[in-house]
Structure 1
Amino acid sequence: MKKILLSALLVFSLHAEIVDRIVATVDNQPITSYEIAKVSKEMNLQPNQALNYLIDQKILQEQIKKQGITVDDYDLENAMEKIAKQNGMSLFEFKNVLEQRGEYQKFKKALKEKLLKDKLFAQIVNTNLKITPQDIKNYYQTHKDEFKTFKTVQVTKYVANNPEILKKLQQNTLLNLPNVSMKAEVYSPEDLPKNLLFLFQQTKVGQFTPIINQGTHFITYYISRKDGEEYLPLSSVQNIIAQKIAQQRREQILKEYFSKLKNRADIKIFNN
Protein backbone atom coordinates (compact mmCIF):
# COMPACT_ATOMS: atom_id res chain seq x y z
CA MET A 1 0.00 0.00 0.00
CA LYS A 2 1.17 3.49 -0.79
CA LYS A 3 2.63 5.26 2.22
CA ILE A 4 2.92 9.03 2.03
CA LEU A 5 5.03 10.43 4.85
CA LEU A 6 4.71 14.05 3.81
CA SER A 7 1.37 15.82 3.71
CA ALA A 8 2.65 19.07 2.29
CA LEU A 9 3.97 19.25 -1.27
CA LEU A 10 7.70 19.12 -1.83
CA VAL A 11 8.97 22.62 -2.55
CA PHE A 12 12.50 23.83 -3.08
CA SER A 13 14.21 26.34 -5.35
CA LEU A 14 16.19 25.10 -8.35
CA HIS A 15 18.30 28.23 -8.09
CA ALA A 16 19.43 27.51 -4.55
CA GLU A 17 22.29 25.21 -3.73
CA ILE A 18 20.97 21.67 -3.77
CA VAL A 19 22.34 19.05 -1.40
CA ASP A 20 21.93 15.63 -2.97
CA ARG A 21 19.73 13.57 -0.71
CA ILE A 22 17.00 10.96 -0.93
CA VAL A 23 13.68 12.73 -1.36
CA ALA A 24 11.50 9.67 -1.99
CA THR A 25 11.55 5.92 -2.52
CA VAL A 26 9.43 3.74 -4.76
CA ASP A 27 9.46 0.11 -3.60
CA ASN A 28 12.78 0.93 -1.89
CA GLN A 29 14.25 2.49 -5.06
CA PRO A 30 15.55 5.99 -4.18
CA ILE A 31 14.80 9.27 -5.91
CA THR A 32 17.29 12.00 -5.08
CA SER A 33 17.11 15.79 -5.04
CA TYR A 34 19.77 15.81 -7.77
CA GLU A 35 17.56 13.69 -10.05
CA ILE A 36 14.60 15.99 -9.45
CA ALA A 37 16.64 19.10 -10.22
CA LYS A 38 18.06 17.51 -13.37
CA VAL A 39 14.64 16.46 -14.69
CA SER A 40 13.14 19.85 -13.75
CA LYS A 41 15.76 21.63 -15.83
CA GLU A 42 15.78 19.25 -18.80
CA MET A 43 11.98 18.96 -19.09
CA ASN A 44 11.04 22.44 -17.83
CA LEU A 45 8.95 21.00 -15.00
CA GLN A 46 8.16 22.24 -11.52
CA PRO A 47 9.92 20.19 -8.80
CA ASN A 48 6.69 18.45 -7.78
CA GLN A 49 5.98 17.56 -11.40
CA ALA A 50 9.51 16.23 -11.78
CA LEU A 51 9.07 14.11 -8.66
CA ASN A 52 5.82 12.62 -10.01
CA TYR A 53 7.52 11.95 -13.33
CA LEU A 54 10.39 10.14 -11.62
CA ILE A 55 7.97 8.08 -9.51
CA ASP A 56 6.24 6.97 -12.71
CA GLN A 57 9.60 6.13 -14.30
CA LYS A 58 10.60 3.97 -11.33
CA ILE A 59 7.32 2.05 -11.62
CA LEU A 60 7.87 1.65 -15.37
CA GLN A 61 11.42 0.38 -14.90
CA GLU A 62 10.28 -2.11 -12.28
CA GLN A 63 7.63 -3.46 -14.64
CA ILE A 64 10.11 -3.77 -17.51
CA LYS A 65 12.37 -5.77 -15.21
CA LYS A 66 9.53 -7.97 -13.87
CA GLN A 67 8.26 -8.77 -17.36
CA GLY A 68 11.77 -9.68 -18.56
CA ILE A 69 11.60 -7.17 -21.42
CA THR A 70 14.91 -6.55 -23.17
CA VAL A 71 16.27 -4.62 -26.14
CA ASP A 72 19.35 -5.98 -27.89
CA ASP A 73 21.74 -4.46 -30.43
CA TYR A 74 19.70 -5.91 -33.30
CA ASP A 75 16.58 -4.06 -32.07
CA LEU A 76 18.56 -0.84 -31.75
CA GLU A 77 20.12 -1.12 -35.21
CA ASN A 78 16.73 -1.75 -36.82
CA ALA A 79 15.17 1.22 -35.03
CA MET A 80 18.06 3.49 -35.94
CA GLU A 81 17.92 2.39 -39.57
CA LYS A 82 14.21 3.31 -39.75
CA ILE A 83 14.93 6.74 -38.28
CA ALA A 84 17.81 7.20 -40.73
CA LYS A 85 15.57 6.36 -43.70
CA GLN A 86 12.92 8.80 -42.50
CA ASN A 87 15.62 11.46 -42.62
CA GLY A 88 16.82 10.42 -46.08
CA MET A 89 20.08 8.92 -44.82
CA SER A 90 21.73 5.54 -44.63
CA LEU A 91 22.38 4.06 -41.20
CA PHE A 92 26.10 4.78 -41.61
CA GLU A 93 25.43 8.43 -42.50
CA PHE A 94 23.01 8.84 -39.59
CA LYS A 95 25.47 7.39 -37.08
CA ASN A 96 28.21 9.59 -38.48
CA VAL A 97 26.11 12.74 -38.01
CA LEU A 98 25.40 11.77 -34.38
CA GLU A 99 29.08 11.02 -33.76
CA GLN A 100 30.14 14.40 -35.19
CA ARG A 101 27.70 16.13 -32.84
CA GLY A 102 28.91 14.07 -29.90
CA GLU A 103 25.37 12.77 -29.38
CA TYR A 104 25.63 9.13 -30.44
CA GLN A 105 25.76 7.50 -26.99
CA LYS A 106 23.09 9.82 -25.59
CA PHE A 107 20.80 9.11 -28.56
CA LYS A 108 21.41 5.36 -28.32
CA LYS A 109 20.57 5.33 -24.61
CA ALA A 110 17.37 7.35 -25.11
CA LEU A 111 16.32 5.13 -28.01
CA LYS A 112 16.86 1.99 -25.95
CA GLU A 113 14.72 3.40 -23.13
CA LYS A 114 11.97 4.24 -25.63
CA LEU A 115 12.04 0.77 -27.18
CA LEU A 116 11.83 -0.86 -23.74
CA LYS A 117 8.78 1.26 -22.88
CA ASP A 118 7.19 0.59 -26.28
CA LYS A 119 7.58 -3.16 -25.76
CA LEU A 120 6.06 -2.93 -22.29
CA PHE A 121 3.14 -0.80 -23.49
CA ALA A 122 2.48 -3.17 -26.40
CA GLN A 123 2.47 -6.14 -24.03
CA ILE A 124 0.06 -4.44 -21.62
CA VAL A 125 -2.31 -3.33 -24.38
CA ASN A 126 -2.27 -6.68 -26.18
CA THR A 127 -2.99 -8.51 -22.93
CA ASN A 128 -5.89 -6.26 -21.95
CA LEU A 129 -7.33 -5.37 -25.35
CA LYS A 130 -10.27 -7.36 -26.66
CA ILE A 131 -11.82 -6.37 -29.99
CA THR A 132 -14.78 -8.42 -31.16
CA PRO A 133 -16.14 -8.76 -34.72
CA GLN A 134 -19.17 -6.81 -33.50
CA ASP A 135 -16.90 -3.95 -32.35
CA ILE A 136 -15.45 -3.78 -35.86
CA LYS A 137 -18.87 -3.92 -37.51
CA ASN A 138 -20.22 -1.19 -35.23
CA TYR A 139 -17.25 1.07 -35.98
CA TYR A 140 -17.69 0.54 -39.73
CA GLN A 141 -21.41 1.41 -39.60
CA THR A 142 -20.94 4.53 -37.47
CA HIS A 143 -17.84 5.82 -39.34
CA LYS A 144 -18.74 4.79 -42.85
CA ASP A 145 -17.65 8.08 -44.40
CA GLU A 146 -14.07 7.24 -43.40
CA PHE A 147 -14.23 4.43 -45.96
CA LYS A 148 -15.78 6.40 -48.80
CA THR A 149 -13.45 6.45 -51.77
CA PHE A 150 -13.21 7.21 -55.47
CA LYS A 151 -13.87 4.81 -58.34
CA THR A 152 -10.81 6.07 -60.20
CA VAL A 153 -8.00 8.51 -59.43
CA GLN A 154 -5.67 10.18 -61.93
CA VAL A 155 -2.21 11.02 -60.64
CA THR A 156 1.21 12.07 -61.82
CA LYS A 157 3.97 10.07 -60.19
CA TYR A 158 7.32 11.82 -59.60
CA VAL A 159 10.43 9.83 -58.67
CA ALA A 160 13.86 11.16 -57.62
CA ASN A 161 16.86 9.96 -55.65
CA ASN A 162 16.85 13.07 -53.46
CA PRO A 163 13.85 14.30 -51.42
CA GLU A 164 15.01 17.93 -51.67
CA ILE A 165 14.44 17.84 -55.43
CA LEU A 166 10.86 16.71 -54.92
CA LYS A 167 10.30 19.42 -52.31
CA LYS A 168 11.29 22.04 -54.88
CA LEU A 169 8.99 20.42 -57.42
CA GLN A 170 6.08 20.51 -54.97
CA GLN A 171 6.62 24.26 -54.55
CA ASN A 172 6.77 24.92 -58.30
CA THR A 173 5.58 22.32 -60.81
CA LEU A 174 6.89 24.44 -63.71
CA LEU A 175 10.50 23.82 -62.70
CA ASN A 176 12.44 21.62 -65.09
CA LEU A 177 14.47 19.65 -62.58
CA PRO A 178 17.10 17.08 -63.53
CA ASN A 179 17.00 13.48 -62.31
CA VAL A 180 13.22 13.45 -61.87
CA SER A 181 11.11 10.91 -63.71
CA MET A 182 7.38 11.47 -64.11
CA LYS A 183 4.49 9.34 -65.29
CA ALA A 184 0.73 9.88 -65.50
CA GLU A 185 -1.29 6.96 -64.13
CA VAL A 186 -4.92 6.04 -63.43
CA TYR A 187 -5.88 3.73 -60.56
CA SER A 188 -9.00 2.16 -59.14
CA PRO A 189 -9.10 1.28 -55.41
CA GLU A 190 -8.44 -2.42 -56.01
CA ASP A 191 -5.23 -1.52 -57.89
CA LEU A 192 -3.70 0.14 -54.84
CA PRO A 193 -2.11 -1.15 -51.65
CA LYS A 194 -4.09 0.02 -48.62
CA ASN A 195 -1.51 2.55 -47.45
CA LEU A 196 -1.41 4.26 -50.86
CA LEU A 197 -5.19 4.12 -51.23
CA PHE A 198 -5.72 5.97 -47.95
CA LEU A 199 -2.95 8.43 -48.83
CA PHE A 200 -4.75 9.27 -52.09
CA GLN A 201 -8.04 9.58 -50.22
CA GLN A 202 -6.57 12.08 -47.78
CA THR A 203 -4.87 14.18 -50.47
CA LYS A 204 -7.09 16.72 -52.20
CA VAL A 205 -7.28 17.18 -55.96
CA GLY A 206 -4.62 19.67 -57.05
CA GLN A 207 -2.25 18.74 -54.22
CA PHE A 208 0.82 16.55 -53.74
CA THR A 209 1.04 13.62 -51.38
CA PRO A 210 3.82 13.69 -48.77
CA ILE A 211 7.15 12.44 -50.08
CA ILE A 212 7.48 8.68 -49.64
CA ASN A 213 10.88 7.18 -48.79
CA GLN A 214 11.40 3.96 -50.73
CA GLY A 215 14.94 3.36 -49.50
CA THR A 216 16.80 3.84 -52.78
CA HIS A 217 14.51 6.56 -54.14
CA PHE A 218 11.72 8.97 -53.19
CA ILE A 219 8.21 9.36 -54.63
CA THR A 220 5.47 11.96 -54.54
CA TYR A 221 2.11 11.89 -56.35
CA TYR A 222 0.19 14.85 -57.73
CA ILE A 223 -3.56 14.20 -57.58
CA SER A 224 -5.03 15.39 -60.89
CA ARG A 225 -8.64 14.25 -60.44
CA LYS A 226 -10.92 11.79 -58.68
CA ASP A 227 -14.01 10.33 -60.29
CA GLY A 228 -16.97 8.41 -58.90
CA GLU A 229 -17.75 7.40 -55.36
CA GLU A 230 -18.01 4.10 -53.53
CA TYR A 231 -17.51 2.54 -50.11
CA LEU A 232 -14.73 0.12 -49.35
CA PRO A 233 -16.23 -3.20 -48.19
CA LEU A 234 -15.92 -4.13 -44.52
CA SER A 235 -13.86 -7.21 -45.39
CA SER A 236 -11.12 -5.04 -46.90
CA VAL A 237 -10.85 -2.58 -44.00
CA GLN A 238 -11.44 -4.68 -40.88
CA ASN A 239 -7.74 -4.76 -39.99
CA ILE A 240 -7.55 -0.99 -40.31
CA ILE A 241 -10.65 -0.63 -38.11
CA ALA A 242 -9.11 -2.95 -35.50
CA GLN A 243 -6.02 -0.71 -35.43
CA LYS A 244 -8.16 2.40 -35.03
CA ILE A 245 -10.10 0.85 -32.14
CA ALA A 246 -6.88 -0.33 -30.52
CA GLN A 247 -5.40 3.16 -30.74
CA GLN A 248 -8.52 4.68 -29.21
CA ARG A 249 -8.47 2.24 -26.30
CA ARG A 250 -4.70 2.17 -25.81
CA GLU A 251 -4.41 5.30 -23.66
CA GLN A 252 -7.27 4.26 -21.38
CA ILE A 253 -5.85 0.75 -20.92
CA LEU A 254 -2.41 2.13 -20.03
CA LYS A 255 -3.87 4.78 -17.73
CA GLU A 256 -5.91 2.23 -15.78
CA TYR A 257 -3.04 -0.27 -15.65
CA PHE A 258 -0.50 2.18 -14.24
CA SER A 259 -3.01 3.74 -11.89
CA LYS A 260 -3.44 0.32 -10.28
CA LEU A 261 0.32 -0.21 -10.14
CA LYS A 262 0.85 3.18 -8.54
CA ASN A 263 -1.81 2.52 -5.92
CA ARG A 264 -0.12 -0.77 -5.02
CA ALA A 265 3.41 0.65 -4.98
CA ASP A 266 5.15 1.44 -1.71
CA ILE A 267 5.86 5.15 -2.24
CA LYS A 268 7.50 7.14 0.54
CA ILE A 269 8.18 10.89 0.39
CA PHE A 270 10.46 12.32 3.05
CA ASN A 271 10.59 15.65 4.85
CA ASN A 272 13.23 18.19 3.87
Structure 2
Amino acid sequence: MYKMFLTIMLVATLNAEVTDGVAVVVKGSAITLYDIKKEMQTSRVDAKTATDVLIRKTLEKQEIQERKLSVSSGEVYDDIKQTAKRNNLSVNEFYEAVRNSSGLSSTELKEKIKEKLLSQKLYSSIAYSGLSEPTDEEIEAYYKSHKDSFAHPSGFKVIIYQSKNKQILQEKIDNPMFHSSEITSNEQALPYDRISPELASLLERTALNTFTDAVPDGKGGYMSFYIKEVESAKETGLESVRNQIMNMIAAEQREQVLGDYFARLRHNADIKMIRNVK
Protein backbone atom coordinates (compact mmCIF):
# COMPACT_ATOMS: atom_id res chain seq x y z
CA MET A 1 0.00 0.00 0.00
CA TYR A 2 2.82 2.35 0.95
CA LYS A 3 4.66 1.57 -2.29
CA MET A 4 1.49 2.18 -4.28
CA PHE A 5 1.08 5.57 -2.59
CA LEU A 6 4.68 6.48 -3.49
CA THR A 7 4.06 5.43 -7.09
CA ILE A 8 0.95 7.61 -7.33
CA MET A 9 2.82 10.57 -5.83
CA LEU A 10 5.69 10.06 -8.27
CA VAL A 11 3.36 10.02 -11.27
CA ALA A 12 1.59 13.15 -10.02
CA THR A 13 4.93 14.89 -9.54
CA LEU A 14 6.09 13.97 -13.04
CA ASN A 15 2.81 15.22 -14.52
CA ALA A 16 3.19 18.51 -12.64
CA GLU A 17 6.73 18.87 -13.99
CA VAL A 18 5.46 18.38 -17.54
CA THR A 19 2.62 20.87 -17.02
CA ASP A 20 4.67 23.51 -15.23
CA GLY A 21 8.06 22.70 -16.83
CA VAL A 22 10.24 25.47 -18.20
CA ALA A 23 9.73 25.99 -21.94
CA VAL A 24 11.89 29.07 -22.59
CA VAL A 25 14.59 30.90 -20.64
CA VAL A 26 14.98 34.58 -21.52
CA LYS A 27 18.17 36.05 -20.06
CA GLY A 28 17.71 33.92 -16.97
CA SER A 29 13.92 34.40 -16.66
CA ALA A 30 11.81 31.27 -17.15
CA ILE A 31 8.62 30.96 -19.21
CA THR A 32 6.76 27.76 -18.39
CA LEU A 33 4.51 25.55 -20.48
CA TYR A 34 1.68 26.65 -18.19
CA ASP A 35 2.40 30.32 -19.02
CA ILE A 36 2.26 29.59 -22.74
CA LYS A 37 -0.94 27.55 -22.54
CA LYS A 38 -2.58 30.25 -20.45
CA GLU A 39 -1.61 32.91 -23.00
CA MET A 40 -2.98 30.71 -25.80
CA GLN A 41 -6.34 30.45 -24.02
CA THR A 42 -6.52 34.11 -22.98
CA SER A 43 -5.50 35.59 -26.34
CA ARG A 44 -6.83 32.75 -28.51
CA VAL A 45 -3.58 32.35 -30.41
CA ASP A 46 -1.38 29.41 -31.36
CA ALA A 47 1.62 28.23 -29.35
CA LYS A 48 4.22 30.07 -31.45
CA THR A 49 2.40 33.41 -31.20
CA ALA A 50 1.84 32.94 -27.45
CA THR A 51 5.53 32.16 -26.97
CA ASP A 52 6.58 35.22 -28.97
CA VAL A 53 4.24 37.42 -26.92
CA LEU A 54 5.62 36.10 -23.63
CA ILE A 55 9.23 36.53 -24.76
CA ARG A 56 8.47 40.16 -25.64
CA LYS A 57 6.73 40.73 -22.29
CA THR A 58 9.68 39.21 -20.46
CA LEU A 59 12.13 41.44 -22.32
CA GLU A 60 9.95 44.45 -21.50
CA LYS A 61 9.93 43.59 -17.78
CA GLN A 62 13.70 43.23 -17.82
CA GLU A 63 14.07 46.60 -19.57
CA ILE A 64 11.83 48.23 -16.97
CA GLN A 65 14.03 46.84 -14.20
CA GLU A 66 17.28 47.83 -15.92
CA ARG A 67 16.04 51.38 -16.55
CA LYS A 68 14.81 51.57 -12.94
CA LEU A 69 11.32 52.69 -14.02
CA SER A 70 8.59 52.71 -11.39
CA VAL A 71 4.97 53.73 -10.88
CA SER A 72 3.71 54.99 -7.53
CA SER A 73 0.36 54.11 -5.98
CA GLY A 74 -0.52 57.81 -6.36
CA GLU A 75 -0.03 57.65 -10.13
CA VAL A 76 -2.24 54.57 -10.31
CA TYR A 77 -4.97 56.24 -8.26
CA ASP A 78 -4.80 59.43 -10.35
CA ASP A 79 -5.35 57.38 -13.50
CA ILE A 80 -8.34 55.66 -11.90
CA LYS A 81 -9.82 58.99 -10.76
CA GLN A 82 -9.47 60.51 -14.23
CA THR A 83 -11.12 57.53 -15.90
CA ALA A 84 -13.95 57.52 -13.33
CA LYS A 85 -14.46 61.27 -13.82
CA ARG A 86 -14.73 60.87 -17.62
CA ASN A 87 -17.56 58.43 -17.00
CA ASN A 88 -19.29 60.63 -14.37
CA LEU A 89 -18.66 58.02 -11.70
CA SER A 90 -17.14 58.07 -8.26
CA VAL A 91 -14.05 55.89 -7.79
CA ASN A 92 -16.08 53.27 -5.90
CA GLU A 93 -18.72 53.21 -8.65
CA PHE A 94 -15.97 52.83 -11.21
CA TYR A 95 -14.52 49.86 -9.31
CA GLU A 96 -17.97 48.27 -9.30
CA ALA A 97 -18.51 48.95 -13.02
CA VAL A 98 -15.20 47.27 -13.85
CA ARG A 99 -15.97 44.33 -11.57
CA ASN A 100 -19.39 43.87 -13.21
CA SER A 101 -18.08 44.12 -16.77
CA SER A 102 -14.78 42.23 -16.52
CA GLY A 103 -14.77 40.46 -13.16
CA LEU A 104 -11.63 42.31 -12.05
CA SER A 105 -11.34 43.20 -8.37
CA SER A 106 -10.06 46.66 -7.41
CA THR A 107 -6.67 45.11 -6.55
CA GLU A 108 -6.46 43.38 -9.94
CA LEU A 109 -7.52 46.58 -11.70
CA LYS A 110 -4.80 48.57 -9.93
CA GLU A 111 -2.21 46.00 -10.97
CA LYS A 112 -3.29 46.19 -14.61
CA ILE A 113 -3.18 49.99 -14.53
CA LYS A 114 0.28 49.85 -12.98
CA GLU A 115 1.41 47.56 -15.81
CA LYS A 116 -0.09 49.96 -18.36
CA LEU A 117 1.65 53.01 -16.85
CA LEU A 118 4.96 51.16 -16.62
CA SER A 119 4.66 50.18 -20.28
CA GLN A 120 3.93 53.80 -21.22
CA LYS A 121 7.03 54.97 -19.38
CA LEU A 122 9.13 52.28 -21.03
CA TYR A 123 7.75 53.11 -24.45
CA SER A 124 8.44 56.82 -23.92
CA SER A 125 12.03 56.19 -22.84
CA ILE A 126 12.71 53.96 -25.86
CA ALA A 127 10.64 55.58 -28.59
CA TYR A 128 10.94 59.28 -27.72
CA SER A 129 13.99 59.94 -29.89
CA GLY A 130 12.52 57.97 -32.78
CA LEU A 131 9.25 59.85 -33.09
CA SER A 132 8.56 62.83 -35.33
CA GLU A 133 5.44 64.97 -35.54
CA PRO A 134 3.37 64.13 -38.65
CA THR A 135 3.13 66.74 -41.38
CA ASP A 136 -0.15 68.20 -42.66
CA GLU A 137 0.25 66.09 -45.80
CA GLU A 138 0.65 62.90 -43.75
CA ILE A 139 -2.39 63.74 -41.64
CA GLU A 140 -4.53 64.40 -44.73
CA ALA A 141 -3.34 61.21 -46.42
CA TYR A 142 -4.09 59.18 -43.28
CA TYR A 143 -7.58 60.69 -43.05
CA LYS A 144 -8.39 59.90 -46.68
CA SER A 145 -7.25 56.29 -46.39
CA HIS A 146 -9.11 55.68 -43.10
CA LYS A 147 -12.32 57.64 -43.69
CA ASP A 148 -14.56 54.74 -42.75
CA SER A 149 -13.02 54.48 -39.29
CA PHE A 150 -13.89 58.11 -38.57
CA ALA A 151 -17.57 57.75 -39.50
CA HIS A 152 -19.95 57.32 -36.58
CA PRO A 153 -23.70 57.44 -35.90
CA SER A 154 -25.07 60.95 -35.57
CA GLY A 155 -27.00 59.83 -32.50
CA PHE A 156 -29.03 57.19 -30.70
CA LYS A 157 -32.67 56.98 -29.67
CA VAL A 158 -32.78 55.02 -26.43
CA ILE A 159 -34.98 54.13 -23.50
CA ILE A 160 -33.03 54.51 -20.27
CA TYR A 161 -34.12 52.12 -17.52
CA GLN A 162 -32.95 52.96 -13.99
CA SER A 163 -33.23 51.28 -10.61
CA LYS A 164 -31.58 51.31 -7.21
CA ASN A 165 -31.87 47.52 -7.28
CA LYS A 166 -29.42 46.01 -9.72
CA GLN A 167 -30.99 42.55 -9.54
CA ILE A 168 -34.41 43.93 -10.49
CA LEU A 169 -32.88 45.87 -13.39
CA GLN A 170 -31.05 42.75 -14.58
CA GLU A 171 -34.35 40.88 -14.61
CA LYS A 172 -35.73 43.57 -16.93
CA ILE A 173 -32.70 43.18 -19.21
CA ASP A 174 -33.15 39.41 -19.32
CA ASN A 175 -36.92 39.62 -19.78
CA PRO A 176 -38.14 42.80 -21.54
CA MET A 177 -41.77 41.99 -20.61
CA PHE A 178 -40.92 42.19 -16.91
CA HIS A 179 -42.37 45.20 -15.03
CA SER A 180 -41.52 46.55 -11.60
CA SER A 181 -42.36 49.72 -9.69
CA GLU A 182 -38.66 49.84 -8.73
CA ILE A 183 -37.69 50.57 -12.33
CA THR A 184 -38.15 53.97 -13.95
CA SER A 185 -37.73 54.68 -17.64
CA ASN A 186 -37.48 57.62 -19.97
CA GLU A 187 -36.93 57.90 -23.69
CA GLN A 188 -34.15 60.16 -24.93
CA ALA A 189 -32.32 61.13 -28.10
CA LEU A 190 -28.59 61.17 -27.44
CA PRO A 191 -26.52 63.13 -29.99
CA TYR A 192 -23.20 61.39 -30.54
CA ASP A 193 -21.18 64.57 -30.10
CA ARG A 194 -22.73 65.33 -26.69
CA ILE A 195 -22.06 62.07 -24.89
CA SER A 196 -18.83 60.75 -23.42
CA PRO A 197 -16.57 58.58 -25.62
CA GLU A 198 -17.09 55.69 -23.21
CA LEU A 199 -20.89 55.87 -23.47
CA ALA A 200 -20.69 56.28 -27.25
CA SER A 201 -18.55 53.14 -27.43
CA LEU A 202 -21.00 51.22 -25.22
CA LEU A 203 -23.97 52.21 -27.38
CA GLU A 204 -22.15 51.46 -30.64
CA ARG A 205 -21.29 47.96 -29.40
CA THR A 206 -24.92 47.21 -28.50
CA ALA A 207 -27.18 45.70 -31.15
CA LEU A 208 -30.40 47.42 -32.19
CA ASN A 209 -33.43 46.48 -30.05
CA THR A 210 -31.29 45.13 -27.20
CA PHE A 211 -30.16 46.36 -23.80
CA THR A 212 -26.70 47.40 -22.71
CA ASP A 213 -25.30 45.84 -19.57
CA ALA A 214 -26.39 47.42 -16.29
CA VAL A 215 -23.93 50.18 -15.37
CA PRO A 216 -23.74 52.58 -12.40
CA ASP A 217 -25.74 55.76 -13.00
CA GLY A 218 -23.56 58.00 -10.83
CA LYS A 219 -26.37 58.45 -8.30
CA GLY A 220 -26.03 55.27 -6.32
CA GLY A 221 -28.20 53.24 -8.67
CA TYR A 222 -27.94 51.46 -12.01
CA MET A 223 -29.11 52.02 -15.56
CA SER A 224 -29.37 50.19 -18.85
CA PHE A 225 -29.89 51.67 -22.31
CA TYR A 226 -32.34 50.01 -24.69
CA ILE A 227 -31.33 50.87 -28.28
CA LYS A 228 -34.47 51.85 -30.21
CA GLU A 229 -32.81 53.50 -33.18
CA VAL A 230 -29.34 54.35 -34.44
CA GLU A 231 -29.42 57.55 -36.46
CA SER A 232 -27.57 57.56 -39.78
CA ALA A 233 -23.80 57.59 -39.85
CA LYS A 234 -22.05 60.92 -39.96
CA GLU A 235 -18.70 61.49 -41.63
CA THR A 236 -16.48 63.70 -39.54
CA GLY A 237 -14.40 66.48 -41.07
CA LEU A 238 -10.62 66.37 -41.01
CA GLU A 239 -10.24 69.23 -38.53
CA SER A 240 -12.54 67.61 -35.98
CA VAL A 241 -10.32 64.52 -35.83
CA ARG A 242 -6.91 66.08 -36.47
CA ASN A 243 -5.66 65.49 -32.93
CA GLN A 244 -7.00 61.94 -32.99
CA ILE A 245 -5.16 61.25 -36.25
CA MET A 246 -1.94 62.72 -34.88
CA ASN A 247 -2.23 60.39 -31.88
CA MET A 248 -2.92 57.39 -34.13
CA ILE A 249 0.05 58.13 -36.38
CA ALA A 250 2.26 58.65 -33.32
CA ALA A 251 1.05 55.32 -31.88
CA GLU A 252 1.89 53.52 -35.13
CA GLN A 253 5.32 55.17 -35.27
CA ARG A 254 5.92 54.28 -31.65
CA GLU A 255 4.99 50.63 -32.16
CA GLN A 256 7.26 50.47 -35.22
CA VAL A 257 10.19 51.86 -33.23
CA LEU A 258 9.43 49.53 -30.32
CA GLY A 259 8.98 46.53 -32.59
CA ASP A 260 12.37 47.16 -34.18
CA TYR A 261 13.98 47.77 -30.77
CA PHE A 262 12.71 44.54 -29.22
CA ALA A 263 13.46 42.57 -32.39
CA ARG A 264 17.11 43.65 -32.09
CA LEU A 265 17.04 43.00 -28.35
CA ARG A 266 15.62 39.51 -28.88
CA HIS A 267 18.19 38.76 -31.59
CA ASN A 268 21.05 39.63 -29.23
CA ALA A 269 19.52 38.23 -26.02
CA ASP A 270 20.44 34.90 -24.45
CA ILE A 271 17.23 32.96 -25.15
CA LYS A 272 17.12 29.20 -24.71
CA MET A 273 14.21 27.18 -26.15
CA ILE A 274 13.88 24.19 -23.79
CA ARG A 275 10.71 22.47 -25.05
CA ASN A 276 7.74 23.16 -27.29
CA VAL A 277 4.05 23.14 -26.43
CA LYS A 278 2.23 20.21 -28.02
Q: Given the two structures, how large is their TM-score scaled by the length of structure 1?
A: 0.60
CA distance in 1, matches of 2:254, 2:232: 36
Q: Is the 8 A contact 2:154 2:192 kept in 1?
A: yes
Q: Is the 8 A contact 1:88 1:163 kept in 2?
A: no
Deviation at 1:87, TM superposition (A): 0.8
Deviation at 1:221, TM superposition (A): 1.7
Aligned to 1:192: 195
Q: Is the 8 A contact 2:26 2:59 kept in 1?
A: no
Deviation at 1:206, TM superposition (A): 1.8
Distance 1:209 1:64, change over 3 A: same
**Which whole-Å deviations, capped at 9, do the CAs of 1:17-72 have from their partners, x for residues lacking one?**
89xxxx9683xxx45xxx45xx2234438xx9999888656633342134331122
CA distance in 1, matches of 2:207, 2:105: 34
Q: Structure 2: which amino acid aligns with 1:41?
A: Y
CA distance in 2, matches of 1:77, 1:144: 36
Aligned to 1:254: 258
Aligned to 2:72: 72
Aligned to 2:99: 87
Deviation at 1:232, TM superposition (A): 2.2
Q: Structure 2: which amino acid aligns with 1:120?
A: L
SS in 2 for 1:185: strand
Q: Given the two structures, how large is their TM-score scaled by the length of structure 2?
A: 0.59
CA distance in 2, matches of 1:75, 1:180: 38
**Which whole-Å deviations, capped at 9, do the CAs of 1:184-232 have from their partners, x for residues lacking one?**
1123344334443454445443233444445544332222224455322
Higher RCO, 1 vs 2 (CA within 8 Å, ≥6 residues apart): 1
Aligned-residue Cα RMSD (Å) equals 4.7
Aligned to 2:240: 236
Aligned to 1:222: 226
Greater share of residues in helix? 2
Consecutive unaligned residues in structure 2, runs of 5 or more = 1-13, 19-23, 39-47, 81-90
SS in 2 for 1:187: strand
Identity of matched residues, %: 24
Aligned to 1:120: 122
Deviation at 1:86, TM superposition (A): 0.5
